[in-house]
Amino acid sequence: MSAGQGQIIEKADYDTIKAKVDLVLGTGSGQTGYGQTITSPAVTAGAVIYAQQWLYLRNDMVKCRQHQTGASVGTGSATDGANLLVPSSGASITEALRNQFNLFSNTITSDKFSIGAGQYSGEGLITGTYSSAWNGTLTHTVTVSSTADNMRYFFNAGGKIRVSANRSGGTSSSKNTTWDTMFSQMGEFQMDYTQTTFTGAATGSAIGWFDLTTSNQLVGQKSAPSGSYAENRYYIYARRDAGSTQLILTIQFQDNDVGDPNFDENVDGTLNSVISQYRPSGANVSVTAPTASQSIS
């Protein structure tokens, strides 16, 4: 920063801090930007920068940090990323305040992908239901859509696309029980900006929204437990369209068993392939929900 102790705080100081805040909270570019309204005004060379303008800048930073941590920002002078002085008058705009604001802007930049408790909502997107008996490979294709900007806002602000499955009814066969066990063990698949994880026992990947290409990549899988139906597999592939407006999920239920030893029964009952989301939707940051369409066969 250009100002020093006892010196005038220059326009460049305010601009430097504001530029970092705008990239995180505003439209940003690429892997930066929550798509929210900026309240801190731009300033012109030679004009007086009033305490009110610094207060607006503080408000924007508080929104970012509370979204990232889920905790309120204090008003103390500590440079701990949890406090931010409140500019109350021109005399309050000191070098210490400027330094604290600058360090705080660095913190919200470093933690830009974080999202705190209470800053998102769990919401359903679409569910594929299949009630016919089946064997071989059953494929559920889901297209999650929005604008290119809204898709990156969603993931930049900590959003996640979630996938799970369950089965009910049908015959009391060992094969049905095996699929039930697989679904119970794997829990839920979650894709964020940089990785795919499961809440249970399954295999994810270091592939998130920003790692996707226009070709399918295997992002998650679950194998059947050992036994007569150990050949069965659950796979999740993902890609995005050329305009980055769509996330396309190809979910495969592969019933690869060929008989133990003489007969291979069908899977029956009702299979549900559930797509949901954690959408950034708190009081500080709220992004537009995508929509979803599907086919299953």
Q: What residues does each domain of the chain span? A: 11-110, 120-296
What is the mean pLDDT of the segment spanning 148-173? 97
What is the mean pLDDT of the segment spanning 109-137? 97
27 or 8: which leads in pLDDT: 27
Contact status, residue 129 vs residue 45, Cβ threshold 8 Å: no
pLDDT at 179: 97
pLDDT at 189: 97
What is the mean pLDDT of the segment spanning 194-201? 97
pLDDT surpasses 80 at 9: no
pLDDT at 262: 63
Q: In the structure, what pLDDT confidence band is assigned to residue 4 with cuts at 50, 70 and 90?
A: very low
Measured CA to CA, the distance from residue 18 to residue 259 in angstroms comes to 66
pLDDT at 47: 72
Over residues 86-102, the pLDDT tens digits come to 999 888 888 999 999 99
Measured CA to CA, the distance from residue 233 to residue 255 in angstroms comes to 7
Contact status, residue 257 vs residue 228, Cβ threshold 8 Å: yes
What is the mean pLDDT of the segment spanning 89-117? 94
pLDDT at 92: 86
pLDDT surpasses 70 at 224: yes
For residue 282, give Cα distances in angstroms to 37, 44, 117, 279, 287.
Answer: 14, 33, 9, 9, 9
Q: In the structure, what pLDDT confidence band is assigned to residue 8 with cuts at 50, 70 and 90?
A: low
Q: In the structure, what pLDDT confidence band is assigned to residue 215 with cuts at 50, 70 and 90?
A: very high
pLDDT at 45: 76
Contact status, residue 269 vs residue 133, Cβ threshold 8 Å: no
What is the mean pLDDT of the segment spanning 264-282? 96
pLDDT at 90: 83
What is the mean pLDDT of the segment spanning 156-163? 98
Q: In the structure, what pLDDT confidence band is assigned to residue 5 with cuts at 50, 70 and 90?
A: very low
Supply the mean pLDDT for the chain.
94
Range of weakest confidence among 38-52, 61-75, 223-237: 38-52
Q: Catalogue the long-range contacts made by 253-256 (C-beta closer than 8 Å, 24 or more residues apart).
A: 253/137, 253/138, 253/139, 253/140, 253/165, 253/179, 254/136, 254/137, 255/134, 255/135, 255/136, 255/137, 255/138, 255/175, 256/231, 256/232
Contact status, residue 278 vs residue 159, Cβ threshold 8 Å: yes
